[in-house]
Amino acid sequence: MATKGKYTQRDIILDSIVDGVFTVDREWKITSFNRAAEKITGITRAEALGQRCCDVFRASICETACALK
């Protein structure tokens, strides 16, 4: 996970992808969030990291038809 001002190799690779990409842990908390995801959602990486994906995206499918399950 990226920390303030420090990016891992994973972050650099994910940021090179033009599609929005995020990863979650077993508790559905966002562990990475690339630049494209920031642009698409309008949510910054700092805001997203550590939050449950359903709390960040607030999509109607999150609780009933999660695309990640």
pLDDT digits (tens, 9 = 90+) for 43-68: 999 999 999 999 999 888 887 888 88
Entry pTM: 0.81
**Contacts (Cβ under 8 Å, ≥6 apart) of 43:** 33, 37, 56
| Higher-confidence position of 6 and 16 | 16
Residue 21 pLDDT exceeds 80 = yes
SS3 68: coil
Q: What is the pLDDT of residue 48?
A: 96
Q: How many angstroms separate the Cα of 14 from the Cα of each of 9, 26, 66?
A: 9, 20, 22
Q: What are the structural domains of the chain?
A: 9-64 (3.30.450.20)
SS3 10: helix
CB distance 50 to 30 below 8 Å:
yes
**Contacts (Cβ under 8 Å, ≥6 apart) of 58:** none
